[in-house]
Amino acid sequence: MDLYRAHVLVCGGTGCTSSGSNELIKRFEEQIAKHGLDKEVKVVRTGCFGLCEAGPVVIVYPEGTFYSRIKVEDVDTIVAEHLLKGRIAQHLVYKEKEEHEDAHLSLDDIDFYRDQRRVALRNCGVIDPENIDEYIAFDGYQALAKVLTEMSPEDVINEMIKSGLRGRGGGGFPTGTKWKFAAASKADQKYIICNADEGDPGAFMDRSILEGDPHSVIEAMAIGGYAIGASEGYVYVRAEYPIAVKRLQLAIDQAREYGLLGKNIFGTGFDFDMYIRLGAGAFVCGEETALMRSIEGKRGEPTPKPPFPAVRGLFDKPSNINNVETYANIPQIILKGADWFTSIGTEKSPGTKVFALGGKINNTGLVEVPMGTPLRDIIYKIGGGIPGGKAFKAVQTGGPSGGCIPADLLDTPIEYDTLTAIGSMMGSGGMIVMDEDNCMVDIARFFLDFTVDESCGKCTPCRIGTKRMLEILERITEGKGEEGDIEKLEALATNIKSTALCGLGQTAPNPVLSTLKYFRSEYEAHIKEKRCPAHHCQKLLNYEITDKCRGCTACARVCPVNAITGNVKEMHTIDTTKCIKCGSCMEKCRFGAIVKN
């Protein structure tokens, strides 16, 4: 094996690839060859480093120098200075704050990483996901070997139950118990399935794991297959994730080649192989019964439970289904033991959880923290707070099934049960921060719009109920809200929650209920005063020209309905009865003279 004195790690996650990391890799290889360093320095395309905000990200080892927002032309500098002369290119190094002029930050010095604990993401941004040898060098497939050679299926299940690992897809059902049910079913064929249909908007941890560490999922599925007695596995991935699909397929091929999938694995007589199935853009397929119908090549409509998948699942055979992040934890639990795992996190929710931080926050990206970490730490310490000096308003967790959490609950420790208690849910781990400019009624409308679009239409409460809720919310945001709308929303929400067929419908009203609970005054302002406190809802805005106006006439000329009048060099006025609130005048004004109320 070749030894190198330095490694250049370039992030090849979707975020950094979108901002041009492939061109960086090409340029690094060219420049390194040009300086004759190709025997000394190795360029590695890794999975996601997490700090997408700073992308594209490059880390140079052995120093661990963290370069951020690198452009192709910066590569020449890094190669000529850092790799050739050993001088860190200070001006390209990631800076947390402007005042950190000369800071030489390596990963562990950065606030974003300091309080994180990486279990599921342990290999993401560290290894080359397209090379099985790198995974093996980081203890890869040792857990599978241990399970097959030293443990009985019952031992594996008991270890999983003892670890207390709960489903990271959002439901939080104990994984070991799920495996026990599937193992108890008798059948000639069973299946183990990985749910990688990550549909929650703003959640991309599963994609990052598949892109950055696909073998951890393959290994865990083989372990699960052994535990429940399944010889075949399926991974159901969103078609919107082309990089993840490509790397997972490559990983499966490599594992087959190494005999880690296929017949008689490790000479133990255990057979296991797995296949990828692509989704086709249906959110409801994240629901387990719908997902299995989709793998069968049918419309992805949920079916009533019972029968549970453990009894009758895919192709009518007993099946076990877990989420990507759940699987990514399993090899570590087997290797280090359940006691190690329960030493992290809280009593009821052991381990860590990965969150995708997004929205109005300084450090957008993926973070992994021990369960029980307060929301405030994630948003302010790791996330770096709200940009532009704006005030925090709410954080949305759990996607379309979750809710909005207000500022006074920011000290809530993150666990499955605490989040449910305050009207939200863990969900798959999307965490979208909103500031004072976001209207909470509009956010509720946004999520209902999503659910209405994605409802499969099989059961009436979801198909018609969510549509009625959306219509009411649309009226409210358009200034046509009526007395009694809030009560109607609440009544509909309660009925839908208790009568819908699957998880999608049962949780669809949550965004409305949680915003009603914590931001009721915003609903009331929309309905009673026809006013949007966040100045977001266009139809409720009033544009006004202040005395900063110089009479340049730019606004009057751009107004599509001639609502603005005034003489040259004199203050203009807007006729609010004519104004269609398009905002063109405000965009055009160079003096900041137009305000909206």
Partner 1 sequence: MSDRNEMFEKLAKVIQDHKEQKGALMPVLQEAQNIFGCVSEDVQKVIAEGLGVTLSEVYGVATFYSQFSLQPKGEYVCGVCLGTACYVKGSQAVLDKLCEELEIQPGDTTKDGKFTVQATRCLGACGLAPVMMINDDVFGRLTPAEIPSILEKYKAM
SS3 387: helix
3-state SS track over 359-374? ECCCCCEEEEEECCCE
511 three-state secondary structure: helix
* The one among 14, 65, 68, 289 contacting partner 1 by CB under 8 A: 14
Supply the minimum distance, in Å, between the C-beta of residue 161 and partner 1. Answer: 31
Tell me the closest approach of the beta carbon of residue 364 to partner 1, in angstroms. Answer: 4
**Which is closer to partner 1, CB of 134 or CB of 206?**
206
- Other Cβ atoms less than 10 A from the Cβ of 86: the count is 9
Q: Cβ 423 to partner 1, closest distance in Å?
A: 17
Which CB, 314 or 333, lies closer to partner 1? 314
Under 8 Å between Cβ of 152 and 200: no
DSSP tag of 349: S
Among 5, 18, 173, 520, binds partner 1 (CB under 8 A): 18
What b-and-e string marks burial along 102-129, b requiring 16 or more CB atoms within 10 Å of the CB? Answer: eeebbbeebebbeebbbbbbbbbbbbbb
Q: Rounded to the nearest whole angstrom, what is the least distance from the CB of residue 359 to partner 1 in the complex?
A: 5
In terms of DSSP H, where are the helices of 273-350? 288-295, 324-336, 338-342
Tell me how many residues contact partner 1 (CB under 8 A).
51
**Cβ nearer to partner 1, comparing 141 with 355:** 355
Tokens (6 digits) for 248: 């997972």
Distance in Å, CB of 514 to partner 1, minimum: 14
Instruction: Closer to partner 1 by CB, 326 or 396: give it.
Output: 396
Q: Which residue has the tokens 């030489």?
A: 104
To the nearest whole angstrom, how small is the minimum distance from the Cβ of residue 166 to partner 1? 24
CB of 55 to partner 1, least distance (A): 6
Stretch 449-488: interaction string toward partner 1, x if CB under 8 A: -------x--------------------------------
With contacts defined by CB under 8 A, name the span among 222-230, 333-341, 442-450, 559-567 that binds partner 1.
Answer: 442-450
Q: Which of 179, 204, 392, 523 binds partner 1 (CB under 8 A)?
A: 204
Measuring CA to CA, how many Å separate 128 from each of 22, 161, 285, 449? 14, 32, 30, 39
- Of 144-152, 329-337, 440-448, 572-580, the segment contacting partner 1 by CB under 8 A is 440-448
SS3 428: coil
Q: Read off the amino acid at residue 199.
A: G
The binder of partner 1 chosen from 360, 373, 503, 514 (CB under 8 A): 360
Residues 211-250 that bind partner 1 (CB under 8 A): 239-241
CB of 406 to partner 1, least distance (A): 16
Cα 314 from Cα 305, distance rounded (Å): 14
Q: Reduce the DSSP state of residue 465 to 3 states and report it.
A: helix
Q: How far is the CB of 52 from partner 1 (least distance, A)?
A: 3
Near partner 1 by CB under 8 A: residue from 46, 396, 477, 515: 396
Nearer to partner 1 by Cβ, of 15 and 129: the residue is: 15
Minimum Å distance from CB 358 to partner 1?
3
Residue pair 489/443 in contact (Cβ under 8 Å)? The answer is no
Q: In terms of CB distance, is 267 or 560 closer to partner 1?
A: 560
Name the pairing type of β-strands 403-406 and 392-397.
antiparallel
Q: How far apart are CA 308 and CA 165, in angstroms?
A: 20
Nearer to partner 1, 14 or 510 (CB): 14
Nearer to partner 1 by Cβ, of 164 and 302: the residue is 302
Residues 65-124 that bind partner 1 (CB under 8 A): none
Q: Specify the 3-state DSSP secondary structure of 166.
A: strand
Tell me whether residue 597 is exposed, middle or buried, using C-beta atoms within 10 angstroms of its C-beta: 0 to 12, 13 to 18, 19 or more: exposed
- Return the ∠ at Cα 467 (arms to 463 and 470), rounded to 5°: 150
The least distance separating partner 1 from the CB of residue 210, rounded to whole angstroms, comes to 11
- In the bound state with partner 1, the residue whose beta carbon lies nearer, of 163 and 438, is 438
Least spacing, CB of residue 15 vs partner 1, in Å: 4
Residues in the chain: 597
Alpha-carbon dihedral sign for residues 543, 544, 545, 548: negative
Which CB, 204 or 327, lies closer to partner 1?
204
Nearer to partner 1, 162 or 256 (CB): 256
- As measured in angstroms, the least distance from the Cβ of 325 to partner 1 is 14
Q: How far is the CB of 497 from partner 1 (least distance, A)?
A: 21
What 156-163 contacts at long range (C-beta under 8 Å, 24+ apart), as own/partner pairs, is 156/223, 156/226, 156/227, 156/334, 157/183, 157/227, 159/333, 159/334, 159/337, 159/338, 160/227, 160/330, 160/333, 160/338, 162/338, 162/339, 162/342, 163/333, 163/338, 163/341, 163/342, 163/350, 163/351
Residue choice 168, 207, 215, 312 for contact with partner 1 (CB under 8 A) = 207
Of residues 364, 418, 507, 515, which one binds partner 1 by CB under 8 A? 364
Class of residue 97 by CB neighbours under 10 A (exposed 0-12, middle 13-18, buried 19+): exposed
**550 close to 514: Cβ distance less than 8 angstroms:** no
Which is nearer to partner 1, 172 or 286 (by Cβ)? Answer: 286
Cα Rg, the chain, nearest whole Å: 27
Contact assessment for residue 219 and residue 122, using Cβ atoms and an 8 Å cutoff? no
Kindly tell me which of 226 and 241 has the beta carbon lying closer to partner 1: 241
121 vs 156, which CB is nearer to partner 1?
A: 121
Q: What does the per-residue mask of binding to partner 1 show for 171-200, with x meaning CB under 8 A?
A: ---------------------------xxx
User: 264 to 323, contacts with partner 1 by CB under 8 A?
Assistant: 277-283, 294-301, 315
- Select 294 or 352, whichever has its Cβ closest to partner 1: 294
Q: How far is the CB of 396 from partner 1 (least distance, A)?
A: 6
Candidates 145-153, 165-173, 180-188, 354-362; binding stretch for partner 1 (CB under 8 A): 354-362
Residues that bind partner 1 (CB under 8 A): 14-15, 18-19, 52-53, 55, 198-204, 207, 239-241, 277-283, 294-301, 315, 356, 358-360, 364-365, 396, 399, 430, 432-434, 438, 443, 446-447, 456
